[in-house]
Amino acid sequence: MVPCDDLQSGTYTVRNFWTALHIILQYTLPPNRSLKEYLQIFMSLQKCLSLTLDKLREAYTGYTALEIPTTFSLLVFLPSNLPPELHELTLPSVSIGFALAGQAVKDTFLPYRRANLPLLTVLDRKEMSPSTGVLGSVADSGLAETLAYTVGAPQGVVGNKFRLILVNFTIKLMGEQGVVPVKMEEGERRLVEMLRDRYRVLVTLDLAPPYKWVARY
């Protein structure tokens, strides 16, 4: 368990490489940088991880324990301004989350994700069915891991013009051809809508284009 005041539970559970990488990035990424800088860091990280994991898979062919997330997500928190009634926001500037890979990993970490983002459980009651399994696809995503940090957002109306802009960019982790964006799925869009209903100051933006697009290295 790692103490983390930005999460509702106050702790973050580390059990594998990806959860360790998430919390390391959470504490080491520089705060208060521009969206452009965070995007550059994110895409550079994808390139480093993709190249390293390719080499690892070549060296350990058939090693089944190497469970690699299909996607990971960048979430940048951009306050429009800081009203006088809010001396400071208890929010990070950025978060990078990884999709859960492998059923054993999902069984272990889904309860922790629900504890830090209770709306996942609400979504479970509203959307989950034995045939569709909507909750699983939402809680498994890297976006769900990053959205847990919205717990520090002010509820209700703060000032006349204050807005907290959440910019999401999800890409394939093993993009062999470069950076491959992934659009939000239906369940993820519903989760974001529920967050906007709870935190009226939120404005969300998904950077994935509506058409297929690949950024070459």
pLDDT digits (tens, 9 = 90+) for 149-183: 999 888 766 666 788 899 999 999 987 677 899 99
pLDDT value, residue 216: 58
**Higher-scoring residue by pLDDT: 75, 51:** 75
Burial of 171 (0-12, 13-18, 19+ CB in 10 A): buried
Q: Percentage of residues in the chain with pLDDT exceeding 90?
A: 49
- The mean pLDDT value for 125-134 works out to 50
pLDDT at 90 > cutoff 50: yes
**What is the CA 131 to chain-centroid distance, rounded?**
26
pLDDT value, residue 154: 81
- The mean pLDDT value for 28-45 works out to 95
pLDDT value, residue 86: 58
pLDDT value, residue 192: 94
Confidence of residue 106 (pLDDT cuts 50, 70, 90): confident
Contact present, 155 and 125 (Cβ < 8 Å): no
**Higher-scoring residue by pLDDT: 127, 22:** 22
- The mean pLDDT value for 57-67 works out to 70
How far is residue 163's CA from residue 153's CA, in Å, rounded to a whole number? 10
**What is the CA 155 to chain-centroid distance, rounded?**
21
Tell me the pLDDT of the chain averaged across its residues.
84
- The mean pLDDT value for 59-66 works out to 66
pLDDT value, residue 193: 93
- The mean pLDDT value for 135-158 works out to 83
pTM: 0.88
First-last CA distance in the chain: 36
pLDDT at 82 > cutoff 60: yes
pLDDT at 124 > cutoff 70: no
- The mean pLDDT value for 84-108 works out to 83
How far is residue 198's CA from residue 177's CA, in Å, rounded to a whole number? 39
